[in-house]
Structures are given as C-alpha cells and as structure tokens.
Structure 1
Amino acid sequence: MKTARAYVLRGDGYYCPVCNRHFRRFLSGGTERRPHVRCPNCDSLERHRLLWLALQPMIVKSRSLNHKLLHVAPEPCIASALKQQYDYLSVDMDPAKAMQQMDICQIPFPDATFDAIVCNHVLEHIPTDMKALQELYRVLKSSGWASIQVPMVGEHTQEDLSITDPQLRTKLYGQPDHVRQYGRDFQQRLESTGFQVTIIAKSELTAPKTLHTLSLDCESEVWLCRK
C-alpha cells in the first residue's frame, strides 16, 4: 500500500529527509486536519522531518563508531533509518511495539551504556517523569546526546496527577492518556537532571527556500540534550 501510494505521489514539490524521497505532495493529517503532514512513503510527520535534520551531524559522526542507541517508544519512520547507523535497541512498555519490553523508570542497564537516546512524546504519559529523566541521564554516556521531545504549550507546565477522567485530561492535556501538558519550563526539568539543553531553530537547519519543501510550518525548533 505504501509503495503504491509513494509511487503515485512521486514528484518534485516536497521532500522527506527521513526516507530521502521527493513527492508532489504529502498526505494530510493531524487531529485538526492539516495539509502536507505525512510522508506517503515512510509516514514521517513534520516533527520527525525537522528532528532528522537536527540529528544529521551526530549521525554522521557516529556512523563508523558502532555507537549504541536506545530508542524509546520507537517511531517506525525514524527507527528504520536509525537501525542503519547505530547498534540499535528499541524499547516500549508494549512488547509488540519494540525489540524489548521496558519501563524507562527502571532501565535494566548499567550506567553510561548508550551513546545516544531517542525518547520523543513519551514523558507526557508517565506520572513519574523525573524518575524517567534520571534513568535516561544515568544510562547515557558522558558527551552522549539525547532527543527528549514533548508536546509543549505556553510557558508553564500544567499538571495534576489526581485528574484521571479521560475527558478532562483531553480537555486539559490534549489526550486522554496524557498526565500533564508541558510548557517551555520543561527545560528546567531537563537541566535539573543534569542535561545540557540546546534549542535549535529550524532556520538554523536549512535554507528558507527549503522549508516549504519539507512542510515544517507547525514546527519551529528542536531540543537536544547533552551529558
């Protein structure tokens, strides 16, 4: 299905850096339907394409070094690409969705095991998010990098763990399985764990004339962490 879809939509209007293919358009998507959201070949979304641009310097540097990468709740579109570059392990609470079942609040690996970690749109589901951050920091090697992305709205994180009603959670936090809505003060949580945070604007990653072809209108920046 994907192969046929990608073939039909091949063209020059849009480009997906994750699967390195060109299309005359991307597929629409999102809760509030937006045009040109999803790559018809690898299913990458805007945030995946922007992240992939930001990761390229680290990936190129690691390509010949057999670096270890931990991918939490793996997004299939970037998982297949990362497997080609790293000694790769994917984990999830649901064993059907990854190579190994794991609770990232109790990671069963020694300190400084991984050279890189990708953990995107996960922490908003975890009540004890600070414990998860501490564990991710612990198993990351010194000078290693981590992509720890969360959905953010506004400046301040909204959180009340006593709220369990799915409808109220959806209203307050965007989804029934979210336990908080992060704000930009998420940076303080990362830094309190020990991470050094770099915020990269999309204008730093590609030329302005290229932004349209990548379809990144709803994304503005990428946060990367270092140990």
Structure 2
Amino acid sequence: MFRSKRKNPMIEKIKRMLGAFQKSSKYEAGERHCPLCDKSSKTFSEYGVVPRKDARCPHCGSLERHRLVWLYLSRKSKLLTKPPRRALHIAPEGILERKFRPLIGKGYITADLLVSNVDVKMDITDIQYPDESFGFIYCSHVLEHVPDDRKAMREFHRVLTRHGIAILLVPITAKETVEDPSVEDPKERLRLFGQEDHVRRYGPDYLSRLEEEGFVVKKIKRNDFLTPREIGEMGITAAAGELYICKKGPKS
C-alpha cells in the first residue's frame, strides 16, 4: 500500500507542544523554592565564572548569598518590622534593591563607583556622608575589588550609627588572606586571585581585619538558623558563604 510522506499537521503540532513542555518543565514547581520571589522551580540554574550548579533562581535571578542574607534579615533582624531611617547599599543587586527600597523609603541610598544606575556615585574609601548617617549598610562581594579595603572598612564604621548593623560580605577562598598591590595584569590577577578585577583572596582572617577597624563581628553560618531541609529546598549551598554582621564596638 502506498503511504503518503506528508506530515500530519496535528501530530507535528503535538510534537512541538511536547517539546516546549519538556524545555519549560525544568523550571516548573517542585524541588526548589526562592524566598526572595516566593516562586518554585525544579532546580536552580548554573551560574558563575566557574559555573556552580543549583545557584541562580530562574525567576528573579537571586544567588545563594542573596537568599541566605534575606532569610537572615527576615528571620533574625528587625529590618522588616522596624526598618532604619537611612540605609546604604553598595553595588546594589537588583533583587535586593527591589526588596529594600519600598521597605526603607526615601532614606534608602544605592551607590557605586563605576555604574550609573544608582542614586549616588561613590568611592567607598571616601564616603561623602557625615558620621553615623546610616542604620543599615549592605556591601556584598565588593571589598575584594578595592585596593585599600581597610580604609573602606573604616569609612563604613564611621558612617554607621551606634546601634546600626553593617553586613559586609566577601568570598572566602583562601586559608589566609593573600594580596599583592603590585599585581596589575588582569591575567595574573585571575591566576592569583580568581578573577581579573580582584586584588586579593580573603581567608577566615577577614573577620580579624574587620575587628581591627573597630567592628564587633558576629559570623553567621547557614546551619545556625536554617534546617537541613530549608537549606536544600532554598538552594543555600556552601557557595552562599557566611554572613558577617558588624556593629560598632562599645568604645568606638
């Protein structure tokens, strides 16, 4: 019997629909839940210079450290119930800015030295605000780019209010902090510090550096306030790092 080689339009349509479903099903509700956008997905996507699995929320773009800090702030701080009058957010991440700005209002200030879509252009080693201006400071994965990080720490300490908190996060990727200001070649920085625009690798002694500039520091780990199930469900992998909650010392 002769059979037509013409494709059945209905079957082809079903195949296309099935293919689209299979592609989209990767991010359908299931195994992961993002606390920032409150949406679920089967998995989080890869992200990073060296790609990390299960890192980035496909809905809002949050990374491991963003989810960790938001969970801490919403559960273990008064930020959501009693927000500060003024807050400083350095190199603002879009997903956190969308949370902080309506919460804090006019007192919320974003700042960056290089990009233009912020409230203020700012060098964090020379902050243009008077002493004790901000009740909350958030600076994540910036200090490893700053040649004089200690001066930046002193400036954060200066503009932080007496009872305020500063969350100053860096990637901890070495046993001890390694830096060499004479290294300017991007390829050599990549080799030594892990990224072309990094000027150092921090080790656990980062906490001591903060303390030496006047802060009282509390280091928070993910399992200090999250259950194993929450850690898995919200993708708070080891790449989230640790939180450094900084306050002014009693005699500062």
Q: What TM-score, normalized by structure 1, do the two folds share?
A: 0.91
The range that moved more, 55-64 or 120-129, is: 55-64
Residue of 69, 91, 99 corresponding to 1:51: 69
Contact kept in structure 2, 1:159 and 1:181, CA below 8 Å: yes
Distance in structure 1 (CA, Å) of the matches to 2:146 and 2:24:
36
Whose radius of gyration is greater, 1 or 2? 2
Asked if structure 1 preserves the Cα contact closer than 8 Å seen for 2:34 and 2:234, the reply is yes
8 A contact 2:27–2:41 mirrored in 1: yes
Question: 1:90 corresponds to which letter in structure 2?
Answer: T
Say if 1:73 and 1:97, in contact at 8 Å, map to a contact too.
no
**Helix, strand or coil for the counterpart of 2:219?**
strand
Q: Does 1:31 align with 2:31?
A: no
Q: CA deviation at 1:6?
A: 9.4
Cα RMSD, aligned residues only: 2.0
The answer to whether the Cα contact below 8 Å between 1:6 and 1:40 also exists between their aligned partners in 2 is: no
Once the two structures are TM-superposed, the CA of residue 205 in structure 1 deviates from its matched residue by 2.1
Q: Which position in structure 2 is the counterpart of 1:161?
A: 181
Q: Does 1:75 align with 2:108?
A: no
Query: Is residue 6–residue 41 contact of structure 1 (8 Å, CA) maintained in 2?
Result: no
Percent of residue pairs bearing the same amino acid type: 36
Distance across 2 between alignment mates of 1:209 and 1:200? 18
Q: Aligned to 1:12, what secondary structure does the other structure show?
A: coil
Deviations 1:28-50 (A, max 9, x none): 22222232210112111111111
Structure 1 gaps of 5+ residues are none
The alpha carbon displacement at 1:147 in A equals 0.8
- Could you tell me the TM-score, scaled by structure 2's length? 0.82
Pair 1:93-2:93 in alignment:
no
**Structure-2 change in CA distance of 1:6 and 1:88 (3 Å):** farther
What is the Cα deviation at residue 97 of structure 1?
A: 3.4
Structure 2: segments with no counterpart, 5+ residues: 1-22
**What are the Cα deviations for residues 4-56 of structure 1, in whole angstroms up to 9, with x where unaligned?**
x9998240311111222222221122222232210112111111111111222
Aligned residues: 223
Q: Which residue, out of 126, 132, 135, partners 1:106?
A: 126
Partner residue of 1:221 out of 220, 224, 242: 242
Greater mean alpha carbon deviation, residues 10-19 or residues 180-189: 10-19
